Amino acid sequence: MDDLVINLDEYNKLSKSGRIFNLILAAAIIIISSVTIIRRILDGRLFNEYLFQIILLLAGFNIILYTYGFFYRLSRRYVILNNQGIEYKLSWSQPSRIISWSELKKVEIKTLRIVFHTVEGVASKMKLGEIFYSDIKKLKESIGNQCSKNGVEWSDTTVESELAEKALKRTP
C-alpha cells in the first residue's frame, strides 16, 4: 500500500501549478529588483532612492520561503498512514510521533480527538481541534480502514452533529 498523507494545513495546500506560479513570481521580483538596485548603486544614487527595490527583493525571498522553505516545513501539520503505522505531527512546537501497528491495542475515535492505546497501556491523544471538517472525516475513515486491515480494535463514538457544529465555527 502506498502511504496515505493527509496534510492538515489548509492555508498552504498549494497545487503544483500554484508552486510554479509562486516560483516564477518570486524569480521575476528578485531579478527585477536586483538589477534595479545594482543600476542605481552604479549611478551613485542615494540609499533612500532604491529602498523600495530592497523591500521588493526581500518580498521575493519571502514568497520562496513560504512556498518551499524552512518556515513551511517547520509549521506544517500532517498525518501519514502506511503499512508500518501512523506518523503524525499536529503542532509546530512538538516533534512528530510514530506509532507502529504492532504497538497498538485499540484506537478510539471521538468527536475532536483520536486516542491510541498501546500494548504497554500508554494512551496517546491526537487532538483534532483546529482541523477542518472534511479533513477530520477523511482522517477518521482512513484510520478506521487501516485498523481493520491491520487487526487493531477500533471504535468510533463520534457525534456527527456536534462535530459539524464545532467545524462550522472554524470554517473560513
d(CA 136, CA 154): 16
Does 139 fall in a domain?
Answer: yes
114 and 150 housed in the same domain: yes
Q: Tens digits of per-residue pLDDT, 131-141?
A: 666 677 777 88
Higher pLDDT, 18 or 100: 100
pLDDT band at 9 (very low <50, low <70, confident <90, very high): low
Contact in structure between 81 and 142 (CB atoms under 8 Å) = yes
43 and 69 housed in the same domain: yes
Write the CATH number for 156: 2.30.29.30
Q: Could you tell me the residue range of the domain that residue 118 belongs to?
A: 78-170
Does 6 fall in a domain?
Answer: no
Count of domains forming the chain:
2
d(CA 113, CA 160): 13
52 and 84 housed in the same domain: no
| Strand-pair category, 153-156 with 104-109 | parallel
Residue ending a domain, among 44, 74, 104, is 74
Sheet arrangement for strand 4-7:
4-7, 78-81, 85-89, 97-100
Residue ending a domain, among 31, 49, 74, is 74
Does 5 fall in a domain?
Answer: no
Give me the chain's average pLDDT, please.
75
Q: Tens digits of per-residue pLDDT, 40-97?
A: 888 888 777 778 888 888 888 888 777 765 555 555 667 778 888 888 776 666 777 8
Q: What's the pTM?
A: 0.52
